[in-house]
Amino acid sequence: MKKTLFLVTGMLLFILGCDKDCDRDDHDNQDNITQAVVFEYEYTNHAWGYSHFGWLIDENGTVKGYSIHDDWKSADDEGYISKSDLLSNSNLTDTVYFQVDNDLLLEHFENRFEVLQGNLESSDQNTADAGTGALYLYVWDVDEGKYYKQLLASHGDMPETNTHPKVQSMVDWLEGIGAQTDRFFWGL
């Protein structure tokens, strides 16, 4: 009797102790990303009054829109932003658009350190008073203890492009996401 009770108790503990990882599909990689924001599109314009809006993609692949808020935290002059400030910005979003494919999100996220090695090139073509739309990738910097806001590409008043070969596929993917929102000025 003791042996049976021990065996049943052991099996129950095993079954109850099995967390969601036991049932997770092998293709579900969302738990591999553990930062509040992975990508961001940000538009700013100072020409005809101040405009600031955009969208974020969080660790779960949720695309969330925002309009400037008094409590919005910007990256510092070197491009760094604290974890708490980035999380605060994510919490200030006002719209949930949709979920992106987790496999694509993870595929682009895995290239984050390589993208940091690209150079930024300015375009000869620019516009006046159109504002600037920019696509960014956030990368944790262990030495700084902050996220680095890496520019992938920008259009408008100050067009720039990261020259790393893996950036263009990220930009193409993000353009497709932006086209599905109401907060995306890009083909300027």
What average pLDDT values come out for the chain (188 residues) when binned by 10 residues? Answer: 42 37 32 84 81 93 91 94 95 96 93 85 67 91 95 86 91 95 80
- For 77-133, give the secondary structure using H, E and C: CCCEECHHHHHHHHHCCCEEEEECCHHHHHHHHCCHHHHCCCCEEECCCCCCCCCEE
Q: What is the pLDDT of residue 6?
A: 41
Q: What is the pLDDT of residue 77?
A: 95
- The residue assigned the tokens 């300027």 is 188
Q: What is the pLDDT of residue 85?
A: 96
Q: What is the pLDDT of residue 51?
A: 83
Q: What is the pLDDT of residue 56?
A: 97
Nearest to 45 by CA among 141, 156, 135, 151: 156
The tokens describing 154, both together, are 């920008």
| Residue 105 phi, psi dihedral angles, 5° rounding | -60, -50
Q: What is the pLDDT of residue 134?
A: 93
Q: What is the pLDDT of residue 8?
A: 38
Decide: pTM greater than 0.85: no
Q: What is the pLDDT of residue 4?
A: 44
Q: What is the pLDDT of residue 36?
A: 85
